[in-house]
Structure 1
Amino acid sequence: MWFIVKVKYSKLDDNEKIKTFNQPYLFDALTHTEAEARANEEMGKYLSEGFMITDISIANFSEIFPSEHGDRWFKAKVSLVTLDEDKGLERRTNTYVLVQALDVKDAYEWIEEQFADTVSDYSIPSIAESPIIDIFPFFDGDELDEVPSETPEESNTEDASKEPGEFLDKHDPLTES
């Protein structure tokens, strides 16, 4: 489930004046409490001057489509068309997706590419730039299997230089005999 977490913080602008921001970020979490904990952890890495979480709400996105070449997030309404066979009527079901793109045209093309294999008909009635600054998907550690193992030279480095999650399998009392 995705949560929109609004984070309020202050920082100095170019003119040495303090400017306050209250910006939304998207966090993948199971509960409001987990979203808040993840926001505190992640934002603490970037905002050393302090911050405050002002709001947490459930996001209504059915899909998130990140893109390597996009720098902004767009909220798109996608209408899926289904046929009610009993009544013989077309039925439209609206869903919302979040798309990372350069502009509205790029967002539209990226959605078209993502829905290319869809069996049912659909339309895209609206695309608008979202105020969301960044997203923080959930990683459960399985992604570490994809990271190449360290070389013997790297294994002699101090533990303080390790990234979170790199301590896995280093010392597991359950597997020791």
Structure 2
Amino acid sequence: MSATWYECKVKFRKTDDSGVQKVVTEAYLIDALSYTEAEKRINEEMAAYISEEFKITNIKVANFSEIHPFENSDRWFKSKISLLAYDEESGKERKTNLYILLQANDVKEAYDNTVKVMDGTMGDYTIPMIMESTIMDVFPYFSGEEGDLEKLEKFNAAKASKPEVVAVGETDFSIEEEEEVLTEIE
């Protein structure tokens, strides 16, 4: 059975970096069988993260075909993929659009990750759009079966990994090698 993803918007009071409390609305993605289950699961998930009162303001079916977490990434991006097919009867090219949600650190990495996901696709496709999503976190469905537990742990490990940050001047390159790499990039 294919997954149905629900986008849930949750409104709550959050303390920002400067210590000021403000009311924010954040979007989360829940894999559920129905709106009712999505509401129940988002309440359970948010209760674990938010100690204060929160309100679910909206639940809607998300139009994602697939969700792909990637290690060392912290933001979610929405990629639009146009599958190209040739209709022999009409003699025209036909496009079918699908949307995937994947993790990356920037748009370029999101493009590269989209190409990785599409690697092995037999048909032609284009990637007409990639944009940063408002989704803060993704909560996949867990049935309790042993195989599902392994998949869930792998999914959560990939989405929870943090990007590696290399401080300026802390590379393994010599100054000459860095200059050579920079000139190749330009």
Q: Report TM bin, short chain.
A: 0.7 to 0.9
CA contact (8 A) 2:8 2:42 kept: yes
Gap runs ≥5 in structure 1: 148-177
Within the candidate set 120, 125, 128, 1:122 is matched to 125
- The 2-side partners of 1:82 and 1:69 are apart by 35
Correspondence 1:102 to 2:127? no
Quick one: structure 1 residues 41 and 109, their matched pair in 2 at CA, closer, same or farther if it must change by over 3 Å?
same
CA-to-partner distance for each residue in 1:62-107, whole Å, 9 max, x for gaps? Answer: 1111111210000111000011121221101111111111111111
TM-score, length of structure 1 as denominator length: 0.78
Distance (Å, rounded) in 1 between the aligned partners of 2:15 and 2:70? 31
TM-score normalised by structure 2 residue count: 0.75
Q: Residue in 1 aligned with 2:87? A: 84
Task: Please give the alpha-carbon distance, in whole angstroms, between the structure 2 residues aligned to 1:141 and 1:73.
Answer: 26
What residue is the counterpart of 2:115 in the other structure? 112
In 1, Cα distance between equivalents of 2:52 and 2:93: 54
1:51 correspondence with 2:58: no
- What is the DSSP-based 3-state SS (H/G/I as helix, E as strand, rest coil) of the residue aligned with 2:136? coil
Equivalent residues of 2:81, 2:125 under 8 A apart: yes
> Which structure 2 residues correspond to residues 12-51 of structure 1 after superposition, within 5 A?
12-51=15-54
Identity %, equivalent residues: 52
Alignment partners' CA distance in 1, 2:149 and 2:38:
26
1:142 CA drift (Å): 1.9
The residue identity in structure 2 corresponding to 1:69 is N
Counterpart for residue 160 of structure 2? none
Instruction: Name the residue aligned to 2:164.
Output: none
RMSD, matched Cα: 1.6
Cα shift at 1:15: 4.4
User: Is it true that 1:138 corresponds to 2:138 in the alignment?
Assistant: no
Corresponding position of 2:5: 2
**3-state SS of 1:78 partner:** strand
Q: Quick one: distance in 1 between partners of 2:135 and 2:84?
A: 28
Amino acid at match of 2:141: F
Aligned CA distance change for structure 1 residues 117 and 87 (closer, same or farther; 3 Å): same
Where structure 2 has 5 or more consecutive residues not aligned to the other structure, the ranges are 151-186
Structure whose residues are more often helix by fraction: 2
Question: In the aligned structure 2, how far is the partner of 1:72 from the partner of 1:105?
Answer: 13
Q: Closer, same or farther in 2 for the Cα pair 1:80/1:144, shift >3 Å?
A: closer
Q: Is contact 2:82-2:125 (8 Å) kept?
A: yes
